[in-house]
Amino acid sequence: MANVGDTTSSTAAATLATLGGSSSTSKAATGSVEDQQNKFLTLLMTQIKNQDPLNPMDNAAVTTQLAQLNTVSGIEKLNATMAQLLAGYNEAQAMQSSTMIGRNVMVAGNNLPLASGQAVGGALLEAAADKVTVTIKDSTGKVVQTQEMGAREAGNFYFGWDGKDAAGATLNDGSYTFAVDASMGGRKVAAAAMQVGTVSAVLRSKDGFLLDLGPLGDVAFKDVQQIL
């Protein structure tokens, strides 16, 4: 009896399948730079015309003022360029996020929702392990299934669960959690539980785009570890 299995099998694969305005800113910045340049040149010419012939302006002072103007102008142009790059990045992320709807993704977490007798979870191993154990618990914290996953390479892997307990009894659909333990030659290997969910919608927030994973909640697009 194998209630938790490697997703390289056809059963696990079937389980997974069932889861179900930058231009105006630039113009404003450019106009600001031009205004500052015009004002500076006007002021400089006024100073030159009205300077004391017996005590003319120091060339070093004029050079310093010109250097300061160039610095301010450079910063303004850099800010305008960065604004354009950020706007382009946000548009690219919006397009990429929209293609995620209906896709299965792996993110950090240990939730294992069971629906129609099917569930999928994952893990991230920092190093290769010769022994990996997945322990599944119900909402009360009771262990309902423990399965040896065998040796695994470093990185992500995912598994399917058929919703049966250690005795082979079919459990009710609902919320379950799981933990992953790994070791190599008896030494513990760092392993993080990774939950798998289906993207049902994409939401825009002040910090970027969020993916709606239904019962798993919202996660940031940047936090996706793997697209399945």
| Co-location of 130 and 217 in the same domain | yes
Choosing from 66, 98, 130, the residue where a domain stops is 98
Query: What does the pLDDT look like over 161-178, one tens digit per residue?
Result: 999 999 999 999 999 999
pLDDT in tens, 53-107: 555 555 566 567 666 666 766 666 667 766 666 655 556 666 666 778 888 999 9
Of 23-37, 64-78, 109-123, 213-227, where does the model show the most confidence? 109-123
Confidence of residue 21 (pLDDT cuts 50, 70, 90): very low
Concatenating the DSSP letter of every residue in 28-54 gives HHHHHHHHHHHHHHHHHHHHHHTSBTT
Domain boundary among 46, 75, 98: 98
Give residue 79's domain range.
22-98
pLDDT band at 9 (very low <50, low <70, confident <90, very high): very low
181 pLDDT exceeds 80? yes
> 217 and 134 in one domain?
yes
Asked if 107 and 172 sit in the same domain, the reply is yes
pLDDT in the model for residue 97? 63
Read off the pLDDT of each residue in 200-213 and give the average, rounded to a whole number.
83
Is 178 in the same domain as 219?
yes
Residue 217 resides in a domain: yes
Residues 77 and 136 in one domain: no
CATH number for the domain including 177? 2.60.40.4070
Number of H helices, E strands in the chain: 3, 13
| Residue 160 sits in the same domain as residue 114 | yes
In tens, the pLDDT along 116-161 reads 999 999 999 999 999 999 999 999 999 999 999 999 999 999 999 9
Q: Checking phi first, is residue 39 left (phi over 0); if not, alpha (psi -120 to 50) or beta?
A: alpha
Co-location of 78 and 180 in the same domain: no
User: So what's the pLDDT on residue 91?
Assistant: 60
pLDDT at 69: 63
Considering the domain architecture, whether residues 94 and 133 belong to the same structural domain is answered as no
* Same domain (yes/no): 70, 106: no
* Number of domains comprising the chain: 2
CA separation for the pair 123, 155 (Å, rounded): 8
Res 193 pLDDT > 60 = yes
Whether residue 74 is found in the same domain as residue 176 = no
Is the residue at 11 inside a domain? no
- Please indicate, yes or no, whether the overall pTM of this predicted structure exceeds 0.75: no
How far apart CA 120 and CA 127 sit, in angstroms, is 22
Q: Which of 98, 128, 163 is the last residue of a domain?
A: 98
Q: Are residues 169 and 117 in the same domain?
A: yes
